[in-house]
Structure 1
């Protein structure tokens, strides 16, 4: 048996971070078992579904390294891979259910249905029971009403039995016999509902495993009924833990960025995001945190999924991004900086060698490419950062001596300072002026950089335009 796992997003918005995690788990499980990972687009919500969202979701998945084997842009033996292109398949199966007595046309209007539901609720009765009003209507009579143009939906008959299954994450799950009533599978406009079409597709596309968020767990009850009616063995389900924020509520916009596109635009690295998402509900067998998800191989399995909700922590994601950023070549870091430093910055006037050296110096000072903007003033702004430590250093009796010496050394210089020059100056100040220790190192730093602390002094000074240094010493 070939393992077949799918990810089936709705193109009604950008790819949610929770959906990205589900896609990642599905992809990794398929690869770990030598199987196929399939992308299916669930676009039956015609009003909200947009092709631009579909394209953006595919682009985001590929950016994260999640490449599907079959899908709307690649084709395959089980297409079409958009539900909007499979409508006749759903209609044929729905009407086959009707012919077999497993489903029926229901002529309740939305207003009547709402009234019945409200009445049942007010009487503390099961509202679903009223939805079966037409379940025993004579088929010929039902057809007459349909031919007369009466609006209807098709409802599936709940066979009235207990449904249970073994979830790959949650373990044994058993649903109450009367958990759902006769539920709609085909709407009045001919469009299928989620719990019907996803089962039809998973069956027709021969899915062997389905991973999704635990909020879909209750949907499984209806879906098991559909599989049974189709005479198909259900796939193995794995309902992974929810992503929650610090308030322990389901992850939403109030917790910050929620789409992959937003994280991509903010400069997060795809390897870092995938690495972090992988650990939100799953643990590495070697108990390691920083790893390339594409190198997991058969180490990835459902046995290490957690049943508990996973807390999404942006500070932790930033830490992961920092670790992955440090793995990059300095040229790649420089290219990343180019994207996030404003066009008008003096940075863009520097040559490639300068940028690469700058990247090597600064890569351990940031967590995101965009953070580099906080560090640019030390290189391109003559203004000083006069905090308490700066003022203290400037107040030492040796600092004016250092400043006057440096001004004299640079009086006629028009080119940037070299690291060797800085070393020579430090040696002179130490040997000839007898300035040592903190007064030497911090005193020289505040004079040349305008700050009490910062990256390696020699490299910073060598990367700072000579005119900026002279302005600070003026």
Structure 2
């Protein structure tokens, strides 16, 4: 390695921090540190509609909680900043214009209807859907005429009509792509913001990234990225496409089957060292006997060859086992008490609970049962019969209510009481039931009792991740929704939304 190793993790702040992000970050961190290099954190926030600073802070906090640190990033600075893509617009515009001037990109004026028609015709002809290149044939004069009329456009990259791109992947070997199936990717959107593909390549080069280690979902984009490196005359980084985390049934890890947010595991009371160790098992040699390992041991023993292409299984029972070992073997009683205080027995977490409970009790001895749901992951001992106890809506309406509420909770950009209130009211409207008749069903699923502290406040304080787990558990008990049911309920929600406008 002639250059100092520089790796990066580049999450998008559009939701809660995903365990997959932590897994990718750990690999990049260990590789860089093993080779005496640097690890960078870059925020890819070009999606201005969904990106929030709140989400960014959660991502940074969760990675710090896991014990990872970065040499350069939006919070620590560095010589290659800014480290938020939203603050690098001028850089992307400059490089996009360079591609246009060199004939490696072109303006595309096609409307959404034209693009939809194009793809429909290709699908009918059993051809791969891709842009057909019609605007690439426009002359400068024709483009100028359209610009003078104020016609909206995007910028697309040129792609050779024939030939083969060979992607050299350190984990998978050479991967060949026919250029004939590579799409003329949009590089700059009509609002002047770059797509991931342009921003990613420009940033990786300007930030001196030598090794790009990312999820396997980006394999199909690699030919486009390598073309951009070629167009700019830059040396591409070494590419490694990592297998995605899997559920026990080998399906892609999904929050519908397993909690996927790092915040859930933090709120559930897992120790950061145990979570770090658990993710580290996916990059350890299978021949190592003891599965308990430190971060330094992960760094010292890191080898890309140890990563299985089969896809690491995110087995929460293994995480439970590891966490139990750390609780027993790594903590003194005093340290254990300190972890308990950090987890829940602190003013930040307790004060909102106290505010909710104060008006509902007559003596302190009443407090235990009322606040117990705030100190557990799921409601233990819950059954389908208990979930139906005294609920006025029928079982299918109850299942639909949980499903639609969860959809809306997942879609909320900012988590707050007003959003929770709106989601539950919309759910009741969509199902044409009274909110008061639906509330008991949510009390039972969320708090395990027909009544208790104010429900909307409780849901907000518990947080999206714990709430998702409890509603998911309730759905398992009552009977998971079929695809047909989910589609019908979702359509009812959309109809209710349209009627409210």
Whole-angstrom CA distance in 2 between matches of 1:305 and 1:174 = 22
**Contact residue 63 and residue 270 of structure 1 kept, 8 A:** yes
Report if aligned partners of 1:240, 1:281 keep a CA contact under 8 Å in 2: no
1:332 matched residue in structure 2: 335
Among 60, 67, 70, which residue is 1:68 paired with?
70
Counterpart for residue 115 of structure 1: 117
Summarize the Cα distance change of 1:105–1:274 in structure 2 as closer, same or farther, 3 Å threshold: same
TM-score by length of 2: 0.66
Give secondary structure in 2 for the equivalent of 1:178: helix
Moved more, 143-152 or 63-72: 143-152
Equivalent residue number for residue 204 of structure 1: 206
Q: Deviations over 1:405-429 (max 9, x none)?
A: xxxxxxxxxxxxxxxxxxxxxxxxx
- Report what 1:437 is aligned to: none
Q: How is 1:12-411 mapped onto 2 (pairs within 5 angstroms)?
A: 12-128=14-130, 130=132, 132-160=133-161, 161-283=163-285, 286-326=288-328, 327-338=330-341, 339-340=343-344
8 Å CA contact retained: 2:167, 2:223: no
Seen in structure 2, the aligned counterparts of structure 1 residues 21 and 268 have a Cα distance that, compared at 3 Å, is same
1:181/1:303 Cα in 2 relative to 1: closer, same or farther (>3 Å)? same
Q: Find the aligned partners of 2:275 and 2:116 in 1 and give their Cα distance.
A: 44
Moved more, 295-304 or 214-223: 295-304
CA contact (8 A) 2:283 2:304 kept: no
Counterpart Cα distance in 2 of 1:71 and 1:323: 34
Tell me if the contact between 1:98 and 1:104 (Cα under 8 Å) persists in the aligned partners. yes
Pair 282,118 (structure 1): closer, same or farther in 2 beyond 3 Å: farther
Q: For the structure 1 residues 195 and 285, does the alpha-carbon distance in structure 2 shift closer, same or farther, using more than 3 Å as the test?
A: farther
CA contact (8 A) 1:285 1:299 kept: no
Q: Is the 8 A contact 1:33 1:298 kept in 2?
A: no
User: In 1, Cα distance between the equivalents of 2:280 and 2:148?
Assistant: 53
Residues 370 and 271 of structure 1: CA distance in aligned 2, closer, same or farther (over 3 Å): farther
Question: Would the aligned equivalents of 2:282 and 2:307 in 1 still touch at CA under 8 Å?
Answer: no
1:14 match: secondary structure = coil
Distance 2:279 2:109 in 1: 46
How far residue 189 of structure 1 moved from its aligned partner, in angstroms, is 0.9
Structure 1 residues 156-199: Cα deviation after superposition (integer angstroms, max 9, x where no partner): 01023311122121122111232213221111111111112101
SS in 2 for 1:134: helix
SS at match of 1:258: coil
Post-superposition offset of 1:274: 0.8
State how far apart, in whole Å, the 1-side matches of 2:295 and 2:173 are: 26
Q: Which residue of 1 aligns with 2:461?
A: none
User: Counterpart of 1:392?
Assistant: none
Shift of 1:228: 0.9
Aligned-partner SS, 1:210: strand
State the Cα distance separating 1:281 from its structure 2 match.
4.7
Q: Which runs of 5+ in 1 are unaligned?
A: 345-368, 375-474
- Distance change >3 Å, CA 280–CA 123, structure 1 → 2: same
TM-score (norm 1): 0.70
The Cα shift of 1:288 comes to 3.1
Counting matched residue pairs gives 349
Q: 1:28, 1:300 within 8 Å by CA — same for their partners in 2? A: yes
SS at match of 1:320: helix
- Asked which structure has the greater CA Rg, the reply is 1
Displacement of 1:126 after TM fit?
4.0
Deviation at 1:125, TM superposition (A): 3.0
Q: How far off its partner does 1:296 sit?
A: 3.3
Secondary structure at 1:163's aligned position in 2?
A: strand
Query: Tell me, which stretches of 5 or more residues in structure 2 are unaligned?
Result: 354-374, 381-501
Moved more, 120-129 or 209-218: 120-129
Separation of aligned partners in 2, 1:235 and 1:20 = 21
Q: Is the 8 A contact 2:128 2:181 kept in 1?
A: no
The equivalent residue for 2:410 is none
Distance across 1 between alignment mates of 2:299 and 2:283? 18
Deviation per CA, 1:6-32, whole angstroms, max 9, x where unpaired? 000000011100111000111111111
Query: Aligned-residue CA RMSD in angstroms?
Result: 2.2
Give 1:303 shift: 2.4
1:175 match: secondary structure: strand
Task: Tell me if structure 2 keeps the 8 A contact 1:43–1:83.
Answer: yes
